[in-house]
Structure 1
Amino acid sequence: MATPADPGLAPLLGFALVGALGVGAQWLAWRLRMPAIVLMLLAGLIVGPGLGLLDPSRDFGDLLQPMVAIAVAIILFEGGLSLDIHGLRDAASGVRRLVVLGAPLGWIASAAALHWGAGLTWETSAVFGGIMIVTGPTVIAPLLRQARLRRRPAALLQWEAIVNDPVGALAAVLAFEVVLVLRTATGAGAAAADLLIGIATATVLGLVAGWGLARAFARGRVPEYMKVPVLFAAVLAVFAASDHVLHESGLLAVTLMGLWIANVELPSYVELRRFKEHATVLLVSGVFILLAANMDRATLASLDLRALLFVLAVVFLARPLAVLLSLAFSDVPWAERLLVAFTGPRGVVLVAVAGLFGERLAELGVPDGEAMAPLAFALVGATVVLHGFALAPMARALGLTAADRPGVLIVGGSRWSVALASALSKLDLPVMIADPNHAHLRAAREAGIETFFGDVLSEEAEHRLDLVRYEQVVAATDNDAYNTLVTTDLAPEFGRENVYQLRRTKDTSRRHALPATLGGRAIAADETFDEAQARLRDGWEFRATTLSEEFGLEDWRTRNPDAVPVATLSEGGALRFLGPEDAPEDRAGLRLVSLSPRREERRTG
């Protein structure tokens, strides 16, 4: 780290470095298919204690703690904003047990692991054990997407993570108040009164603010362009007001505020949530870089075999014991109990709150209070790496993945859709055809293809369809406007590069052309619905061909001069749809899906 005489980075350069490292780590993790938090921790440690380029305490001074606190508050608000009560229907009893029983059991088990594993005093262990209830919603979400879990185990892990985040912070507050009573002249009655008043204030502020904002938004009291700024300002105000009454109670207030707004069916809810998700990505990146860079070499060097023993005790004893006891005699299947028991990655809230309470315990004279921050980093790093690489294989071994391969959701039950779905199904890809017209699905059902009767954009579809099974969407109904609506709405969730639609009939007219921000990508020959249907009526069919060293792409083109490449499937199972300008790779083992004239007609032609 830098010497006291070192002026360090200017704050502006420091902010720029944190932003570049955070977003860069997120992008690199996406490219390498790795947990982003691992790369963010490494980046922070390299530029901080490693190279000494960034020292947040030096470069940002007194602004560091408020910055981290506000970022954590916004992250938890976004977590509450993602909790739809309707999504809890299959996992309600399990989540209730994990919060009501699992949280106190986890607190006790974690405190024991800290005392006997890491050798901390009971005072520090009690405070730190409360914080360790949290399981990191910002870490769980990307892990769930990567592992493609079934709906119920995914709901158990997601709800537990988000609900227990403020619960863990309040547990630490409670333990800290007890330590404060024992170490100062503060009376137990006064401390208890402060705690109750703080929790009550947080609850009232969060729910009232959520109710007021939802009512104002629904009645048009706030213009559309100001909804997100008003939301941000309200989050900061509620957090600051509650935290002023009782430290860390603001986390409870903003979580409840987000939970209320998420469940009142606001017309602009989707836009609000998407913007919040984007902000959260930036904030999570920044907080991890800052907290990792703020470590010093001496503190990191203090991590020894006892720290390793503590991590092993938490991962393999404290967490499984708390989960299995809380879910005992419940209707949660054993496979799901085991998955949840051995999946407990910690994240930004643990590191941030542990660092804060570690400093406060040290100020009270607790000798090992400063050990909380490095132990929190050790636990976060170990659990994120372990679960980041082990969750998907463990879920597959327990039979809890939605699908071994990411599949395709086809919207529209036409002859063209059924033909494409049949060809993809023969490649062992999960395929579903959705259509709001029951009669349109008859051919798909007769072909043995999975179907969904209803609108894919409806609330019922959101709760019944396991969208995590699918990576690509093809909108192929006879309604061009609906195809555009589906692909535009699902693009943020699936990625704009993964949504496709048949060409609109009036796309060639400048008067009717849509901007690039609306609709999906072109697929195959970029035909309209009527043109695609006519091609099948003329005797064309979807067919899959495997390329090899002996039969390459040029050989295929020679044998199929009129064929239209539609998609490729790599040996690793990655499906890629092709547009009119895309060319398939010439690689042995690649499976090429094409639209070709039927063999009988080619022989007689």
Structure 2
Amino acid sequence: MAIELYHVALVVIGLALLGVTVLQLVASERPVSLPIFFVAFGAAAFSVPGIPAPDPLEQGLLAEHLAELGVIIALMSLGLKIDRPASLRGWSSTWRLLAITMPLSIAGAALIGWWLVGFLLPTAVLLGAVIAPTDPVLAGEVQVAEPGEGGVNEEDSEPRFALSSEAGLNDGLAFPFTNLAIAIALVGLAPGNWLGEWLLVSVVYRIVVGTFVGVVLGAILARLVFATAPETRIARSVEGLEAIAGTLLVYGLTEIVGGYGFIAVFVAALMIRRYEHDHEYNDSLHQISELAEQVLMALIMVFFGGAIAGGLLGPLTTEGILAALAIVFLVRPIAGMVGLAGFDLPWSDRGAIAFFGIRGIGSFYYLAHGLNEAAFADADLLWAVVGTVVLVSVVLHGVTASPVMNRLH
């Protein structure tokens, strides 16, 4: 009897989704995160003869859109948890990480890619851009608590808040640098007006539009969501579904008008969270978005493990391995400490924020998007280096996150 790959895929996906619930019991009391399990399961499942492994180079559009969906759902889930009102002073750690740490990380990774690995300039710039965003999907252990439990005025919540707010915003702010790499790959560094267009459109216009649409649609959605409480049985059965609907609506409309949808979704989530701050329905919104986030995380990590089994890391060179390790152990920690220099926090807290620059699904999205938009030399090696960065981050940060955060608190 012939075994259909479709049925095998259903089994693999079903086991992954079952793991979202069952593995919570295994991992909750241990210094290990769920993504580690899913990557290992994916590697084992797709190592079985006859099951074709995922290939993000061959299936670039699928990789891009699956990662895209995972990121936007995670951004909504994250924004719905943040209790601290947005302000220049209250979010000062966030602004430091975005304005100083992020550009330094991009420059450092690009320099390592060019000097150590031997990437051409467009590929090196793309490497810097795709490892820039800290991941809102895989960073559950270092994020703020559930809605209403964030400890807004507690000093020991600062590392969690800084990492959460950074992950919420730098996913969108990595886009201009990805577009810069695409522009260099398409037209090179020849004189022309493309640099001015990049600054005006990719940096200014799209960020401003994304922020504006997020504020407006977030305010509208907040009023709609909290206008009436669900009273009927059917209405109660879909409690919180507005979070998913809002995510798709905000992201799609923002992209249609040319803004950055990642920024808009996170800003909209913050607007919804602040509108009825103490309303119990906030829990329903967060629960459904977090469930969707966990499901997509499981699937993406299983496919990532399958891609590793299929040879994703095969093109790695010694220089590529060293570059990936340098990005995780040197670039982000150093850039993080520079960005937080002089900030009124204990060294242990600043060190934790600098260290936990978790890389993950956001990097997959930007890399797949960049390669779908332009031709880059050594694309297979670039995927191998980025895959190694994510794999090291998943294991290293997944094992250390809970013990370190518990010790800080």
Same fold (TM over 0.5): yes
- Alpha-carbon distance in structure 2 between the residues aligned to 1:336 and 1:90: 18
Provide the residue aligned with 1:9 in structure 2.
5
In the alignment, is the contact (CA less than 8 A) between 1:169 and 1:251 conserved in 2?
A: no
The higher-RCO structure (CA 8 Å, 6+ apart) is: 2
Q: Secondary structure at the match of 2:358?
A: coil
> Greater strand percent: which structure?
1
Q: Secondary structure at the match of 1:300?
A: coil
Provide the residue aligned with 1:134 in structure 2.
133
- TM-superposed CA distance for 1:39, in Å, is 1.6
Provide the residue aligned with 2:37 in structure 1.
39
- Please point out which of 306, 317, 335 is paired with 2:348: 335
Residues 243-275 of structure 1: CA deviation (Å, up to 9, x unaligned): 34559x222221111121122125221211112
- Alpha-carbon distance in structure 1 between the residues aligned to 2:86 and 2:212: 25
When Rg is computed on C-alpha atoms for both structures, the one with the higher figure is 1
Provide the residue aligned with 1:180 in structure 2.
186
> Greater helix percent: which structure?
2
Letter of the 1:46 counterpart = A
Provide the residue aligned with 2:152 in structure 1.
none
- Alpha-carbon distance in structure 1 between the residues aligned to 2:369 and 2:169: 21
- TM-superposed CA distance for 1:150, in Å, is 3.6
- Alpha-carbon distance in structure 1 between the residues aligned to 2:313 and 2:48: 11
- Alpha-carbon distance in structure 2 between the residues aligned to 1:152 and 1:24: 31
- Alpha-carbon distance in structure 1 between the residues aligned to 2:175 and 2:144: 26
- Alpha-carbon distance in structure 1 between the residues aligned to 2:402 and 2:180: 36
- Alpha-carbon distance in structure 2 between the residues aligned to 1:136 and 1:40: 17
Residues 308-348 of structure 1: CA deviation (Å, up to 9, x unaligned): 20122112321122111111122122222222222222122
Shift of the 62–299 alpha-carbon distance from structure 1 to 2, 3 Å rule, reads closer
The question of 1:375 aligning with 2:388 is answered no
Q: Secondary structure at the match of 2:5?
A: coil
Shift of the 112–257 alpha-carbon distance from structure 1 to 2, 3 Å rule, reads same
Q: Secondary structure at the match of 2:324?
A: helix
Residues 460-509 of structure 1: CA deviation (Å, up to 9, x unaligned): xxxxxxxxxxxxxxxxxxxxxxxxxxxxxxxxxxxxxxxxxxxxxxxxxx
How many pairs were matched up? 387
Unaligned residue ranges in structure 1 (runs of 5+): 1-5, 403-605
- TM-superposed CA distance for 1:144, in Å, is 6.1
After superposing the two structures, state which structure 1 stretch, 16-25 or 153-162, moved more.
16-25
Provide the residue aligned with 1:455 in structure 2.
none
Matches within 5 A, 1:81-92: 81-86=80-85, 92=91
In the alignment, is the contact (CA less than 8 A) between 1:113 and 1:318 conserved in 2?
A: no
Q: What is the TM-score normalised by the length of structure 2? A: 0.81
- Please point out which of 308, 323, 339 is paired with 2:321: 308
Provide the residue aligned with 1:241 in structure 2.
253
The question of 1:18 aligning with 2:13 is answered yes
Unaligned residue ranges in structure 2 (runs of 5+): 146-154
Matches within 5 A, 1:48-67: 48=46, 51-56=49-54, 65-67=64-66
Shift of the 246–131 alpha-carbon distance from structure 1 to 2, 3 Å rule, reads farther
In the alignment, is the contact (CA less than 8 A) between 2:35 and 2:394 conserved in 1?
A: yes
Shift of the 264–103 alpha-carbon distance from structure 1 to 2, 3 Å rule, reads same
- TM-superposed CA distance for 1:183, in Å, is 7.8
Provide the residue aligned with 2:297 in structure 1.
284
Shift of the 243–90 alpha-carbon distance from structure 1 to 2, 3 Å rule, reads closer
Provide the residue aligned with 1:204 in structure 2.
212
The question of 1:155 aligning with 2:161 is answered yes
Shift of the 52–113 alpha-carbon distance from structure 1 to 2, 3 Å rule, reads farther
Shift of the 130–382 alpha-carbon distance from structure 1 to 2, 3 Å rule, reads same
Shift of the 123–163 alpha-carbon distance from structure 1 to 2, 3 Å rule, reads same
Residues 374-420 of structure 1: CA deviation (Å, up to 9, x unaligned): 22221111122122333455567xxx532xxxxxxxxxxxxxxxxxx
Provide the residue aligned with 2:276 in structure 1.
265
- TM-superposed CA distance for 1:300, in Å, is 2.1
- TM-superposed CA distance for 1:202, in Å, is 2.1
Provide the residue aligned with 2:97 in structure 1.
98
Q: What is the TM-score normalised by the length of structure 1? A: 0.57
After superposing the two structures, state which structure 1 stretch, 67-76 or 20-29, moved more.
20-29
The question of 1:255 aligning with 2:254 is answered no
- Alpha-carbon distance in structure 1 between the residues aligned to 2:96 and 2:60: 42
After superposing the two structures, state which structure 1 stretch, 372-381 or 43-52, moved more.
43-52
- TM-superposed CA distance for 1:90, in Å, is 9.5
Letter of the 2:297 counterpart = V
Letter of the 2:179 counterpart = V
- Structure 1 runs of 4+ aligned residues shifted over 6 Å read 57-62, 87-91, 183-186
- Please point out which of 223, 226, 231 is paired with 1:218: 226
Shift of the 68–154 alpha-carbon distance from structure 1 to 2, 3 Å rule, reads closer
Residues 125-152 of structure 1: CA deviation (Å, up to 9, x unaligned): 2122122122222222225699xx9422
In the alignment, is the contact (CA less than 8 A) between 1:311 and 1:379 conserved in 2?
A: yes
